[in-house]
Amino acid sequence: MLFCGAALAALVTITALRLDGGGAETVPAAGPAAVDSTVCIAPTEYMRSHHMKMLDKWRDEAVREGERTHVTPDGRRFEKSLKTCLGCHSNNRMFCYMCHLYANVKPTCWNCHLSPIEIPPQ
């Protein structure tokens, strides 16, 4: 499985330059990242207890400051986006719901953000 993941990562192109369409600037384009569902951005125990704080922090930094890159202590880089989480966790479409139902918490994320349940797998 790890081998497959590595092969997939090798296939993913990282940067590409886009030529101007309507006569505007060329900006380096961010491509899709490799999906490696074996390691999360932080240890599971930490994510279980602190994911809401991390998402809040990510949201404010990305939306209001434009600081979009999260660097983990071991040097891996992630985009501060709910999609970074769902890129792996949406494979289990009930991932968020299972705990939230059990703990009877009702986060408002899915009022606007599309949850894995609302997007059919492609």
| Phi, psi dihedrals of residue 74, rounded to the nearest 5° | -95, 20
For 60, the 3-state DSSP assignment is: helix
- Select 35 or 101, whichever has its Cβ closest to another protein: 35
> Does 11 participate in binding another protein (rule CB under 8 A)?
no
Encoded one letter per residue, x for contact with another protein by CB under 8 A and - for no contact, window 64-103 reads xxxxxxx------xxx-x-xx-xxx-xxx-----------
Cα 56 to Cα 60: distance, rounded to the nearest angstrom = 6
- Contact (Cβ atoms closer than 8 angstroms) between residue 50 and residue 76: no
For 46, the 3-state DSSP assignment is: helix
CA atoms within 13 Å, Cβ hemisphere of 119: 15
> Does 107 participate in binding another protein (rule CB under 8 A)?
no
> Does 31 participate in binding another protein (rule CB under 8 A)?
yes
Please report how close the Cβ of residue 1 comes to another protein at its closest, in angstroms.
5
Contacts with another protein, residue ranges (CB under 8 A): 1-2, 4-5, 8, 12, 14-15, 18, 20-38, 59, 63-70, 77-79, 81, 83-84, 86-88, 90-92, 108, 111-114, 116, 118-122
